[in-house]
Chain A
């Protein structure tokens, strides 16, 4: 991976394990200034561990993670320029909104005037200006999430790490958060965001890195990912549920066909990447007609991010506990 002056985050050959368990296996990616990079992966794929390394809470076993030119083994050098929005709402419930802002502002080394200016501005932006004297424990879920954001943005970081920003939020709040992230990006911030929501990654992120079992299996813009998955040469096939043996036989047959480049299948869904779409569709259509309802559905379209995820990891999002939220 070539270094670039535009890159504010560069991760190379990153390994991390906890005892015998290997969590990160040679992670490599980068994030440019002013873009949002999504780290998409199921639970246990290593997203949080990767994020913890990038904010300096953990140290990798090997490899490098460089943020704004500083190796994150010595994260103290860049903490003033980076921010972290944790998945959970981490602040003091018994302090008021403003007391939390003032406290963490001080920990970031801000002066009283800076805290007043930045805090008031952020509260206004997220719609919490009226809640300064409210105890943080008394805020609603959405309000807590916004406060969570504010506390990470008080010091105007250049790079923001966000962990699952919209988990458990209502659709309105989710959209608000997306727009907020987009506004931050337009303001020049670089955002690295973990998520297991496909649509969120698709809507918010400029580029996406798909993690699976501690490794990035695909990285790039959505268009690039689609191309990597097969693009227009991808056929999606659904088999009748409850026939795993039939699907396995079909997969075996398809893999032997010369015009088939790759087959990915799981739980009744098969993706066929082919060099000859016509031949493949004709073959599958024959099976559809003659196979006794083996094939339930067949579709030749550009893959969605879910499809890409499935192709990359071999598992459907539902299988790993994701909740699909309509856009």
Chain B
């Protein structure tokens, strides 16, 4: 199976490199000699020195100050001396610490006032004065870092306790409030219902007048008696009328009969007269006719008169019958009335029986009203209790929330005071990264550049270019070869630094290696770019030196980065050397060690590391691309 072609370029370069014994020897010896020489020369605190000389004035009457100092001691970075016993008061001790940090006797000074704990407990912030010798940037950086870590840890603990206390209290209050919340609406609803019923009852009771009922009852009794008397009288009268009507009816019947008889007779007369008229009036002009006619007409008239009488008689009979009917009806009505009177009488008797009980019921109602009223009063008392409790809770919440949250979250504020002692301390921790950067930068720049120039000068590079393998694979193979050698140098340097010089690594080695390789990759590509632009080995080396020395200086290796003018800092912040050295320093010095409580700082610094490494990666890629383009272009002009 064929591997990618850059692998073969890489293998060829490595084979060539290690076949030359002197090269192999120098790749091992050179970094070793440099690191041992410079490292021994500068030495430093590290873990070898026993810790940073620190003066402490802990006059805190509470516990927070002691906790703080104990945590600092646990880190092992500070060599702490507490001068509380030496000075009678806090101010003298504080002055002593400040003065001696300025002289360089101590690197750090810490002053805890007597009310340190008290202020925290009260919810106000406490101020811790910190004196730092600023002439040693690594001291400042490390000291600040550790103190901030402890501060964060203690502050977090204090603010967590406080917040927990508040939280528990609020939870208890909340439980009661929830219970009360369930009861109050029900109470209110019941109260309202009760109030309504009471109102109704009250109205009813108010309307109920027993004496008036008694009077009405008597009056009613009297009326019933009166009605009975009237009824009897009316009955007698009706009987008389009935008798009269019967007599009248009999007379009318007789009249009617007579009228009927008369009518019958008349009818015979009429018939006769009519017959006569018929026979007589054969001659209409005859007087007999006229007489017959007059007779007939007279009979008719008599007949009609009798008819009229009969009609009137019958009308009278009908009227009498109707009168009779009406009298019967009246009689019937009278009978009904009597019945009703009897009923009313019966009801009145019942009323007379129940009237005493109404008084009793009224009394009972009044009693119930009083009881209900008492119940309402109780409920009102409970509601007032609730009101009082809520007011109390509100007061407490106001009390807690009146505190500035900043003071709760950061109960301890650091008051930094920087001095500059000018004492000479050995600074291996500061210089080690710069030494590594110098060694690796020079190798990364020179190795691939010289290799490329030699191949180009001998012409063999041309033979590489005329193959189907593109410049990308060739450059990548050389790039990886250079990185591999840089990796070997770095391993040697780090081994020497950690074993012999006592430099320790706080963060993961893989992160340091990644930062170193990214930085080196940028330099390797820079070396290849220089090699592609220069014609000879000499000019390439001179160009590399011209670039490297200022690069190392402005990266903060020799002179602290912070001491450079702001314009220079701004211009050089993004150089591969600056980014690489900072990343390595941050990972190595601060690292990630949960047992030391450095999470917050670590997180902050790792973000800065990520930031640096992202930029490094981007620069490495961009420079690599540039090197490929230039080599392709210059190789095939």
Q: Residues of A at under 8 Å CB distance from B? A: 55-59, 75-76, 79-80, 84, 86, 88, 90-92, 94-95, 99, 103-104, 106-109, 111-112, 151
Contact = CB atoms under 8 A, between A and B. Distances in A.
B468 A151 contact: no
Contact of B463 (A58, A91, A112): A91
B357 interface: no
A151 B466 CA distance: 12
Nearest to A80: B468
A56 B16 contact: no
Among all A-B residue pairs, the 3 with the closest Cβ atoms? A107-B467, A106-B8, A79-B468
5 contacts: A58-B636, A59-B636, A104-B467, A108-B467, A112-B2
Contacts of B458: 90
Contacts of B637: 57-59
B182 interface: no
A103 B469 CA distance: 12
Contacts of A55: 466
Contact of B5 (A79, A91, A107, A151): A107
Interface in B318-351: none
Contacts of A91: 460, 463
Given A76-B470, A108-B468, A151 B463 contact: yes
A109 B468 contact: yes
A95 B17 CA distance: 11
Most buried by A among B458, B467, B468, B470: B467
Contacts of B175: none
B76 interface: no
Contacts of A88: 459
B3 to A, nearest CB: 8
B464 interface: yes
A95 B465 CA distance: 19
Contacts of B5: 106-107, 109
Given A95-B16, A109-B468, A103 B636 contact: no
B635 interface: yes
A21 B443 CA distance: 40
B499 interface: no
Secondary structure class of chain B's binding surface, majority of residues: helix
A108 B468 CA distance: 6
B12 interface: yes
A92 B8 CA distance: 14
B428 to A, nearest CB: 39
A75 B636 CA distance: 10
A111 B468 contact: no
Secondary structure class of chain A's binding surface, majority of residues: loop
B462 interface: yes
Contacts of B459: 86, 88, 90
A107 B636 contact: no
A75 B2 CA distance: 24
Nearest to B474: A107
A94 B8 CA distance: 16
A76 B465 CA distance: 10
A115 to B, nearest CB: 10
Contacts of A75: 636
A168 to B, nearest CB: 15
Contacts of A95: 12, 15-16, 19
Contacts of A109: 2, 5, 468-469
Nearest to B17: A94
Contacts of B464: 107
Contacts of B463: 84, 86, 90-91, 104, 151
Interface string B13-37: 0011001100000000000000000
Contacts of B462: 57, 86, 90
B342 to A, nearest CB: 136
A57 B632 CA distance: 10
A103 B473 CA distance: 13
A79 B5 CA distance: 15
A91 B464 CA distance: 9
A58 B636 CA distance: 5
Contact of A92 (B460, B467, B469): B460
Contact of A103 (B8, B465, B635): B8
Contacts of A59: 636-637
B434 to A, nearest CB: 35
Contacts of A80: 468
A84 B466 contact: yes
Nearest to A78: B468
A55 B468 CA distance: 11
Nearest to A18: B637
Nearest to B636: A57
A98 to B, nearest CB: 12
A95 B637 CA distance: 29
B15 A99 contact: yes
Contacts of B15: 95, 99
A107 B468 contact: yes
A55 B636 CA distance: 10
Interface in B442-458: 458
Contacts of B635: 57
Contacts of B460: 90-92
B565 to A, nearest CB: 44
Given A92-B16, A92-B460, A94-B20, A106 B2 contact: yes
